Structure 1
Amino acid sequence: MKRRDILAFISVAIASWFLAIGLPLVTPEPVAAQSNVNLLVSAAASLKDALEEIKPLYQQSKANVNISYNFGASGALQQQIEQGAPADIFISAAKRQVDALEQKQLLVPGTRSILAKNRLVLVVPKNVSGVTSFYNLKDEKIKRIAIGEPRSVPAGQYAEQVLQKLKLLPQIKPKLVYANNVRQVLASVESGNADAGLVYVTDAKISDKVKVVVAADEKYHSAIIYPLAVVKSSKNIDAAKEFAQYLATSSQVKAVLKKYGFIVS
């Protein structure tokens, strides 16, 4: 018997033995290419520029991960998640919104961390002079003061706390105009639709149309922190955990955040 015939006979015999004892024949399959993963990050509007810059940095090593962002007021994003809107990761501009989702068991346990911190500042249009402190907000020439809507915008909550502590709120309340997120506050001051506004220092830093008058004393408001966590309803929890870990620990991320004026540890 030729060697080729012997090998064929042995192969048939082995196959017959597998079938006789009830074991399935396993034929090797080519290894499938890593499939693409889509992640949606719901994040506070003040993080927009930094997160857009971080995205391609992450994709250099994770080319199969497609990252999309949903930017808005933290309170509005919280409500969207509570109502079942898709999101893989949530990054708020305040502790309160993440606490609420955690209490409702809508976040993956053990995935919460702090991304960064920020400062609140008073800004005016670049060509305005004579405004040197919060107390100038009482001046007659300051007719409209933009802040975030306190019920849904953390920057608005911080602004209201500062104005209350300085005992200015009752006097200037008629001048207040409310925006749906902190970037709208910035846009109102840039355009001159508001004579002053309270935004984060990171927002003021990206604009050449406003100038910072003064930073609010941190003892006058709650700590401005950006907590993040993975959303329990995510269809890609492992990939979301990996990106959340990168955001919380990467030196690349910290460098970008610092560049935009965020405070990182």
Structure 2
Amino acid sequence: MKRRQIFGFLGIAIIGLLLTVGLPLVTPSPVIAQSNTDILISAAASLKDTLEEIKPLYQQSKSNININYNFGASGALQQQIEQGAPADIFISAGKKQMDALEKKGLLVSGTRANLANNRLVLIVADDIVGISSFYDLTDAKIKKIAIGEPRSVPAGQYGQEVLKKLKLYDRLKPKLVFANNVRQVLAAVESGNAEAGLVYATDAKISKKVKVVVAADDKYHSPIVYPIAVLKSSKNPSAAKEFVQFLSTNPAKDILRKYGFIVP
């Protein structure tokens, strides 16, 4: 038998053996897994609880989207973005910070919208009595009043506007303790480091250690609005736009309302 015929018979025999034991003749193409996409959202500290609850709701239908948050004072977040810090979406607690980014051309055109509104309230520690208005903050029992730093914390800006409108700012200035964000104001009153503080109604709502004395009249401060937009620096603008759109759906709005936000 010629050598070529021998190799032919051997080849047929090997193929038959492979088929018998069930081994594949051709290496299958690997299954391509669905790739994950990361989205980083820089958001005002007052949105922390709300956005944390929205996250798993969104991921029920978008399991390949990894949502990460960077919470802080709106002014500080604005500066981070201006200095090139990575972020896909920005949610501010005031127009001023978003306006600054828009003026510098850092927003994706057509993505800016107003997510929600809020109210500014005066809170005191649970054991404080006899305080029923902003004017009562002049009482000797109130030694420290926590307020956000007006230059970087929108809640502080609104608080300063209210106190100036009521002609109380100069009288109360020695008592003011400035915080880096509104949640630090809340924590100061909760811990007893301040007898009173100016926070959003949504912040007061999540605490069992403080009580609301009075809500500031809207005419005494700039509108408390939460603008949202996709940033031009986003590495995943399509996914970012989808998340922004989701925040305007009824399920997301229900969660915003649950925490006390006023939804347009």
Q: Normalised by the size of structure 2, how large is the TM-score?
A: 0.88
Aligned-partner Cα distance in 2 for 1:103–1:32: 42
1:34 positional shift: 2.8
Q: Structure 1 residue 262 and structure 2 residue 261: aligned?
A: yes
User: In the alignment, which residue of structure 2 is the partner of 1:242?
Assistant: 242
Matches within 5 A, 1:89-238: 89-238=89-238
* Ranges in structure 2 where 5+ consecutive residues have no aligned partner: 1-28
Matched position secondary structure for 2:132 = coil
User: In the alignment, which residue of structure 1 is the partner of 2:57?
Assistant: 57
Aligned-partner Cα distance in 2 for 1:240–1:34: 18
Letter in 1 for 2:251: Q
Q: Deviations over 1:9-54 (max 9, x none)?
A: xxxxxxxxxxxxxxxxxxxx77844310000000000000000000
Letter in 2 for 1:55: K
1:141 positional shift: 1.1
Aligned-partner Cα distance in 2 for 1:194–1:57: 36
Aligned-partner Cα distance in 2 for 1:37–1:126: 45
1:134 positional shift: 0.3
Aligned-partner Cα distance in 2 for 1:251–1:210: 30
Q: Structure 1 residue 38 and structure 2 residue 38: aligned?
A: yes
Aligned-partner Cα distance in 1 for 2:240–2:68: 12
Provide the aligned length of Structure 1 versus Structure 2.
Answer: 237
User: In the alignment, which residue of structure 2 is the partner of 1:24?
Assistant: none
Aligned-partner Cα distance in 1 for 2:130–2:154: 28
Matches within 5 A, 1:8-27: none
Matched position secondary structure for 1:34 = coil
Matched position secondary structure for 2:235 = coil
Letter in 2 for 1:244: V
User: In the alignment, which residue of structure 1 is the partner of 2:75?
Assistant: 75
Who wins on radius of gyration, i.e. which is larger? 2
Matched position secondary structure for 1:207 = coil
Q: Deviations over 1:198-249 (max 9, x none)?
A: 00000000000000000000000000000000010111011001111111x2
Consecutive aligned runs of 4 or more in structure 1 exceeding 2 Å deviation: 29-34
Task: Give the alignment's Cα RMSD to 1 decimal.
Answer: 1.2
Aligned-partner Cα distance in 2 for 1:225–1:117: 5
